[in-house]
Amino acid sequence: MNGRMATALCVLCLVSGCAAGFWFARMPLHEVDQDVIYQVSTIDALLQGSLEGTMTYGEMKKHGDFGIATFDRLDGEMIAFGGDFYQIKADGKVVAVTDDMTTPFGTVTFFSQDYSFPVRHAANFSDFSRQVEEVLPSKNHLYAIQIRGEFPYVMTRSIPRQETPNARLVDAAANQSIFEFRQTRGTIVGFWTPDLVRGLNVPGFHLHFLTEDRTGGGHILDFIVENATVEVDITPRFAMALPESGSYTSADLSGDLSHELDVVEKGST
């Protein structure tokens, strides 16, 4: 593991015990749990401006072949599935992620479908969220989500690399690049997480998109779905590695940043 990262802290949120809470335990460094969501840092730290890449993607790949993330100084959006990792830059270009690139915040897992179901039509992100949440077996678990199908419309964003140290994410997002895709096919990757991880990750859906021809994508702001298949991996355990140096160590993570998160994730005001 990168020397700047703390020993991985595993939040063991067992299927039988999520409602009761969670606890911390050390994960043996030689073991990789195939049924765990592994995360670098916290969303609130990113919101506060802790933007330095603290873990290499070479290390991240040891913990998952599927997921979403960003890059050092917010240099674009990351999407991974099937073991392939891509960077969607603010100029719209899509490039392969190299092992020496780093991330300040990211979430990965080894995707293994537990069940799937069709979504024939969803008029927007909110409609999609409502339909899928109605069939999730519990609102207290974490899920990896993969969606393949036809998308009449997808709106995404990518944030350019930040040169100002410790820029707040909400300010950086004000200069984001917006991309619109029409009548396209592709893959959506992401996670649904419950309110119990508020401050650690994004409650609800956090999704990234890549076109079928691998030429465009980004963080999803809105989309329309037609004839899509939603694949779900129920993931009962959550592990988090926290930076042990840099701006993270002095960030004030005690406040409620939910409004800033809404602005960043969905463009709400």
Render pLDDT for 80-128 as a digit per residue (tens, 0 to 9): 999 999 999 999 999 999 999 999 999 999 999 999 999 999 999 999 9
Provide the pLDDT confidence category of residue 28 given band limits of 50, 70 and 90.
low
pLDDT at 30 over 90: no
Place of tokens 């419950």: 194
pLDDT at 10 over 60: no
The backbone region for 76, taken as left when phi is positive above 0, alpha when psi lies in -120 to 50, beta otherwise, is left
Most confident segment among 26-40, 176-190, 242-256: 176-190
Please tell me whether residue 73 adopts helix, strand or coil conformation: helix
pLDDT at 166 over 90: no
- Looking at residue 32, what is its pLDDT? 65
Does the 115-234 domain belong in CATH 3.30.70.940?
Answer: no
